[in-house]
Structures are given as structure tokens and as C-alpha cells.
């Protein structure tokens, strides 16, 4: 039952991402996201190298400098360590997001990662993408059929009155934006 609920949640989330293509659903800015988790491990190991893959080469110096400062301040006690770590996480995530051309809106609390991203990360660590691909395709097709049916039905009465015409235009726009969102995801290039 729990797996079914989780599957439904991530399918709905992916569908929302298809419907709202301009919305950023990043998880790299979360305190339990892959970037911060890797940063925690790098700080414990005192090795910035694994983190450099997350930022453009031109920004490597800024990350190395922030890392060195953080390591130095961490030695001053537990409170200093917490503050220094937060400073480093914010710097790393900000630079990473800027490298993607995305805004930085602060660190998100742990536990806020979208279930779809958790599932995608789990599959990447060892699993089959087929389950996720089939679920996304089926849900996208269902959304497409629903919007098409609404638009097609409203089109039959589009010229009956101004109100009916507006209902058609609303259904048409929803249908076309959904198609556009799917097309942009498939053909528009990768984005965060």
C-alpha cells in the first residue's frame, strides 16, 4: 500500500512538471539532496575534489576557496562548524545553480525532495528505468487524452456563444500547453 501511494505521488509530481514546464523542481538545493549529501562527505573527508564536478570549471576557484575557509572555521567548535557548513552548502548550491542558468532561492529543508526525484535517483543507483518510463508515459498519455477530449468537446460549441467560445479557448490552451510541455521536455533540451 505504501509503495502504491509513493508511486502515485511521484507520477502526479511528474505530471505536474509536464503541465507546468517553466516551474523548477530542483532537488540539488535541498539539505538532503545529492549535492549537499556529497558536500557533507567531502567536508568529513577534507577533500573538495568530488564536488568540483558539480560546478563549471570557471567557478572551481570559488568553491576551493569556500571549502578551505569552511574547513578552517569548522575547527572552532560545534556552532562554528554548523555555520561554516551552511555557508559552504549555500555557496556550492548557488554556484551549481548559476552554472545551470537557474536561480538560487536558498537551501530547502530536508524531507522536501519530490518523490519523483527520489525514485529517479534510486533507479540511477541500481535499478531499471523501464518502470519509471512506463509510468511517466502512461500518465502523460492519460493527461493528453483528458485535455484533448475537453478541447474537442468544447470546440463543437465554440461558436454558440461568447461564453462557450471562452470555454473552448480555455480547454484548447490547456491542451496545447500540455502538448508544448511534453514536447519541450522531449525536444527542448535538458534543464533542471
* Average pLDDT rounded to a whole number, residues 40-64: 97
CA distances from 170 to 53, 58, 165, 167 (A): 44, 46, 9, 5
Contact 39, 107 (CB under 8 A): no
Which residues pair with residue 108 across a beta bridge? 30
**Which range is most confident: 5-14, 73-82, 119-128?**
73-82
Q: Supply angle C-alpha 63, 65, 66, rounded to 5.
A: 65
User: At which residue does the C-alpha cell 555557508 appear?
Assistant: 87
pLDDT of residue 54: 93
- pLDDT, one tens digit per residue, over 11-42 is 444 444 444 433 344 678 888 888 999 999 99
Q: Which residues contact 170 (CB under 8 A, 6 or more apart)?
A: 154
* Average pLDDT rounded to a whole number, residues 32-56: 95
Looking at per-residue pLDDT, the higher value among 158 and 4 belongs to: 158
| Alpha carbons within 13 A on the beta-carbon side of 51 | 32
pLDDT of residue 129: 84
Q: What whole-number distance in Å separates Cα of residue 180 and Cα of residue 18?
A: 9
Reported as a pLDDT band with limits 50, 70 and 90, residue 10 is very low
Reported as a pLDDT band with limits 50, 70 and 90, residue 86 is very high
Looking at per-residue pLDDT, the higher value among 56 and 137 belongs to: 56
**Which range is most confident: 5-14, 55-64, 182-191?**
55-64
Of 14-18, 53-57, 66-70, 184-188, the range with the lowest mean pLDDT is 14-18
pLDDT of residue 188: 67
Looking at per-residue pLDDT, the higher value among 23 and 73 belongs to: 73
Residue 48 has pLDDT above 90, yes or no: yes
Amino acid at each position: 500500500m505504501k509503495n502504491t501511494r509513493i508511486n502515485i505521488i511521484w507520477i502526479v509530481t511528474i505530471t505536474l512538471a509536464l503541465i507546468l514546464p517553466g516551474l523548477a523542481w530542483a532537488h540539488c538545493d535541498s539539505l538532503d539532496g545529492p549535492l549537499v549529501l556529497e558536500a557533507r562527505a567531502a567536508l568529513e573527508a577534507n577533500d573538495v575534489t568530488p564536488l568540483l564536478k558539480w560546478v563549471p570549471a570557471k567557478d572551481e576557484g570559488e568553491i576551493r576557496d569556500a571549502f578551505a575557509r569552511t574547513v578552517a572555521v569548522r575547527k572552532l567548535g560545534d556552532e562554528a562548524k554548523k555555520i561554516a557548513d551552511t555557508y559552504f552548502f549555500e555557496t556550492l548550491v548557488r554556484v551549481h545553480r548559476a552554472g545551470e542558468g537557474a536561480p538560487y532561492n536558498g537551501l530547502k529543508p530536508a524531507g522536501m525532495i519530490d518523490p519523483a526525484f527520489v525514485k529517479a535517483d534510486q533507479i540511477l543507483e541500481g535499478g531499471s528505468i523501464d518502470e519509471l518510463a512506463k509510468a511517466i508515459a502512461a500518465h502523460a498519455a492519460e493527461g493528453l487524452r483528458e485535455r484533448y477530449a475537453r478541447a474537442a468537446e468544447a470546440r463543437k460549441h465554440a461558436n454558440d456563444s461568447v461564453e462557450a467560445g471562452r470555454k473552448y479557448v480555455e480547454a484548447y490552451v490547456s491542451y496545447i500547453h500540455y502538448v508544448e510541455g511534453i514536447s519541450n521536455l522531449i525536444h527542448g533540451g535538458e534543464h533542471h
